[in-house]
Amino acid sequence: MNRDQVAEVLGGAEKALQAGETRLEPTGFWKAVAAAKRDPALVEEFGDRFAAIDRTAFEKWAFFFVPAGFGTLLAVVWTLMGFGIVLWAYSLDQPWNGLVLLVGTVITLVTTHG
């Protein structure tokens, strides 16, 4: 993909975002990103536009977002709660131990893989 093709794709992606679209695949955006990864001159010329388009698409797509530090803190706290619930399950009688173990496991899986 040459310089003019990348410029055309980025223009199309920007127009799609302005029209409310959040999916960038149909515009060829990710192919342009792949081309830029192979050609540092494209990164130098279009890097800021790539970043702005990607960020705008993410912000329109995301249900909500929080600062990275706060999000990390939430993930750590919920993960520790999940571990605590798993440990607590071992002190319970049946059938509660299995149910509580399942809840703790789900919390831990969601917070570490979400």
pLDDT digits (tens, 9 = 90+) for 86-100: 999 999 999 999 999
Which DSSP letter does residue 103 get? H
Number of domains within the chain: 2
pLDDT tens digits along 23-49: 999 999 999 999 999 999 999 999 999
Own/partner pairs, 21-24, CB within 8 angstroms, 24+ separation? 22/57, 22/60, 22/61, 23/57, 24/53, 24/54, 24/57
User: Are 57 and 77 found together in one domain?
Assistant: no
Regarding whether 30 and 9 lie in a shared domain, the answer is yes
Residue 23: CA count within 13 A, CB half-sphere: 2
Domain of residue 47 covers 3-61
Cis peptide before 40 (omega within 30 of 0): no
Q: Are both 7 and 55 inside the same structural domain?
A: yes
Contact 13, 29 (CB under 8 A): yes
Indicate if 51 and 89 belong to the same structural domain: no
